[in-house]
Structure 1
Amino acid sequence: MTDAARATVIVPAHNESAVIERCLATLLAGALPGEFQVVVVSNGSHDATAALARSFTSHPVEVVELPAPSKIAALRAGLARARTGVRVVVDADVLLGTSALRELVSALAAAEPNPRAGSPQLAVDTFASSPLVRAYYRTWTRLPYVRTGMIGSGVFAVNLAGASRLSTLPDILNDDEWVRRSFPPPERITTLATFTMTAPRTLRALISRNARAHLGNRELNSKNPGNGNTIGDLIKAVRSREVTPTDALAYFAVVALSRTLARWRLATGRARQWSTDHTSRT
């Protein structure tokens, strides 16, 4: 790996042996030698995550091992090793292809010297999900939070001018949303290419994932309020026939149950409980 790499790609990974090879293979399938500096940060893993990342031979991969599970610590460790202007963070369970990565890197580099954060457009794979989970995502992807620009949900990137803002990355649950809120809308870039997030298979897994996200947003709202979807947005989507009443009801039920679980976790001291969705990693 040389310092001429176009971008540093950081992959935080906690017990991701089921998907780390898939993530790297998709990311680097068309990469040129030395095109990207790739850093996999295995944090608190007790499986083969680090070994599998080291055994990836088609492109050099740096592997850092941290003793404790902490995505924020993993991000800090990866960012500290970045040798290029553009920093890209990719969750181990999402699929980001080489061409989409290049497009994202080029867009952010072209924006210098202005600080910018960006991500490709989100695609959600619900093929193996239950009907209720599919209904939730059919609704969620048609609401303003997803439709109005950079969303993250597994991929975000910053250029050199924006990288300094990550130096203050706090100990938070929702790092993607923290980055999004750190860059106002004029400083966000959404490229035309897509990355794929695999949806949970079961309703239980979806509620658990969303409860953690809700707690993360609640934590952020106390310091830096943001705009999420509202009941008004949901009603508008139904009236415009972008969302069916049945799907809207399923979405509303999932949100209500997720918030109930979040309140229970908060009341019982489990607010920072790790909520890895294993159903989407099979």
Structure 2
Amino acid sequence: MILSVIIPASNEERWLGACLAALVASDPVAGGAEIIVVANGCRDRTAEVARAAIPAAAAAGWSLTVIEREQGGKPAALNHADRVARGEVRAYLDADVTVSGPLMAGLVQALGAREDAAYGSGRPRVTARSRLSQTYARFWARLPFARSTAPGFGLFAVNRAGRARWGEFPTIISDDSYVRMLFQPHERIEVPAPYDWPMTEGFAALVRVRRRQDAGVAEIAARWPELLANEGKPRLGAGGVLRLAAGDPAGFATYAAVSLAVRAGRDRGTWARGR
């Protein structure tokens, strides 16, 4: 069973090399595996970094295709790659994510064993460099969504029947949330192998990304309200918030400050990398 790993990459030269190196160092995938990098609207060396990884990928038994598109836009990049992908299992991977060795083979095994539609991911490990982002990430990672089964941020995969749940990716802010909510909680599989997912750095960036997250959820609620029933995360409630705050006062204060700044500001429609 062939695995196709699709990586949309816009100005990701700083992160893409590590992402690809971790992929090709993964455990072997029965049936073979291919990587499709779509460098979309790049103004840096993203495509060169991807092409430089072709020899190492080939030596490890991976096919690596690099596609360059002048236009930006993640959904368009995903759709372009999907049209040339060969895999029965499709994994969609952010260019700044690094997978652990067993993860991709584990996803193929888990999803390939299902004839019905299935969605899968690994267990994310949220990373950060600065003290501020570490504090925010520590609290964020304890929220119900982040602790739910196969939350899928940064990496999600589907089997053939699962990919048939939708046609082309719509033009949308949060493609990962959209796909995740096409599946009911019992259709989601979490492989125990982890992957590293970097939190964005700095207060202003955290506010921009949080604002974009909120806009993505609001967009899904407006366009596909029926999907919200598939969210599947437990309600936190006031008591739950108090327990989290008591367990991590600094994390709560940082998270609350970002939340207040999001509500006080206005979305200027600018793209923000990261979370």
CA 1:230–1:102 in structure 2 vs 1: closer, same or farther (change >3 Å)?
closer
User: In structure 1, how many angstroms separate the alpha carbons of the residues matched to 2:103 and 2:143?
Assistant: 24
User: Do structure 1's residue 28 and structure 2's residue 52 form an aligned pair?
Assistant: no
User: Helix, strand or coil for the counterpart of 1:119?
Assistant: strand
Q: Which amino acid aligns with 1:83?
A: R
Query: After the TM superposition, which of the residue ranges 56-65 and 23-32 deviates more from structure 2?
Result: 23-32
Evaluate the alpha carbon distance shift between residue 167 and residue 156 of structure 1 in structure 2; reply closer, same or farther with a 3 A threshold. same
Q: Which amino acid counterpart does residue 124 of structure 2 have in structure 1?
A: L
Partner secondary structure for residue 72 of structure 1: helix
Residues 7, 208 of structure 1: alpha-carbon distance in 2 compared, 3 angstrom cutoff:
same
Look up the match of 2:217. 217
Q: CA deviation at 1:173?
A: 0.6
5+ residue gaps in structure 1? none
Give the stretch that moved more between structures: 170-179 or 101-110: 101-110
Work out whether residues 28 and 105 of structure 2, in 8 Å CA contact, stay in contact via their aligned partners in 1: no
Partner SS, residue 46 of structure 1: coil
Query: SS in structure 2 opposite 1:10?
Result: strand
Q: Distance in 1 between matches of 2:171 and 2:51?
A: 28
2:250 is matched with 246
Question: What amino acid maps onto 1:275 in structure 2?
Answer: A
Instruction: Say whether 1:37 aligns with 2:41.
Output: no
Residue 252 of structure 1 deviates from its aligned partner by 2.0
Distance 1:229 1:246, change over 3 A: farther
Q: CA deviation at 1:150?
A: 1.7
1:99 to 83, 102, 111: 102
Aligned to 2:60: none
CA contact (8 A) 1:42 1:65 kept: yes
Question: Are 2:8 and 1:7 equivalent residues in the alignment?
Answer: no
Offset from partner CA, 1:46-70 (integer Å, 9 cap, x none): 2111122112111131011111111
Helix, strand or coil for the counterpart of 1:89?
Answer: strand
Q: Distance in 1 between matches of 2:257 and 2:237?
A: 15
Number of the residue aligned with 2:151: 151
Q: Counterparts in 2 of 1:123-202, with a 5 A limit?
A: 123-126=125-128, 128-131=129-132, 133-202=133-202
Question: Cα 1:64–1:134, aligned 2, differ >3 Å: closer, same or farther?
Answer: same
Counterpart residue number, 2:206? 206
Residue 230 (structure 1) shift: 9.2
SS in structure 1 of the partner of residue 13 of structure 2: coil
1:100-148 residue CA offsets vs partner (Å, 9 max, x unmatched): 111112111111x10011110110112x1233x2222222211211112
